[in-house]
Amino acid sequence: MIIVVPIILIILYLFVCAILARSMGLVKCIDPSIAYQKENRRHFLDGYKNWKKEEYIIKSFDGYELHATYIPSAIPSKKYVILVHSSTYCRIGGIKYFNIFQKMGYNGILFDLRGHGDNKKSPSTWGIKESKDLLSVINDTVNRFGNDIKIGVHGECLGGVTALTALKYNPHISFVIADSCYNSLYSLLCKLAQQVAHVSPVLFDPAEIFFKLMFGFSYKNIFTKDSLRGNKIPVCFIQGDSDCVVPVNDTMELESATKGYTEMHIFEGADHTRNILVDAERYEAIIKHFLYSVKCLELAA
Q: What is the pLDDT of residues 69-88, one digit of tens each?
A: 999 998 999 999 999 999 99
Q: What is the mean pLDDT of residues 201-222?
A: 87
Q: What is the mean pLDDT of residues 268-292?
A: 96
Q: What is the mean pLDDT of residues 163-189?
A: 95
> Residue 96 above 60 pLDDT?
yes
The amino acid occupying position 181 is: C
**Top-confidence residue, 237 or 12:** 237
> Residue 134 above 70 pLDDT?
yes
pLDDT number for residue 301: 40
> Residue 279 above 50 pLDDT?
yes
pLDDT number for residue 199: 66
> Residue 262 above 50 pLDDT?
yes
The pLDDT confidence band at residue 299, using thresholds 50, 70 and 90, is very low
Q: What is the mean pLDDT of residues 88-101?
A: 98
